[in-house]
Amino acid sequence: MVFRKRNLLRANLVTRSEDWTWSSLWRRQRNRGPAMLADWPVARPGDWINFVNEPQTDVELEAIRQSVNRGCPFGDDDWQKEVVQQLGLQATLRPRGRPRTTTTKEAN
């Protein structure tokens, strides 16, 4: 997964993601991938390695953590809403806890 490779950079374990010898990126770059590495289901973006080698931003990291903690799909808003609808995961996007009660003063 791309985020795991970018974690290596954030942890200063490698200077380039493709240097991590246990990653699929390392194997693909050197044509050493075992038979279990399938081809991509879509065309790989031309700037893929550059993207993988960019450190994760704090915003990206927070979004990933929220997705993992809530069990909701990770992606842009439109894709996320589509997948949530298809898989019946609406509860993963709702705020947690009971809704706040409003007093008469607050309602006016």
pLDDT greater than 60 at residue 1:
no
Using alpha carbons, select from 75, 56, 58, 59 the residue that is nearest to residue 67.
75
Place of tokens 């699929």: 24
- The C-alpha atoms of residue 29 and residue 93 are separated, in whole angstroms, by 38
Q: What is the pLDDT of residue 34?
A: 62
Query: Per-residue pLDDT tens for 76-102?
Result: 888 888 888 898 888 887 777 777 788
Dihedral pair phi/psi, residue 48, rounded to 5° = -55, -50
Segments making up each domain of the chain, as ranges: 2-56
> Taking the complete model, does pTM exceed 0.75, yes or no?
no
- Segment among 12-16, 23-27, 31-35, 51-55 with least mean pLDDT: 31-35
- Residue 62, amino acid: E
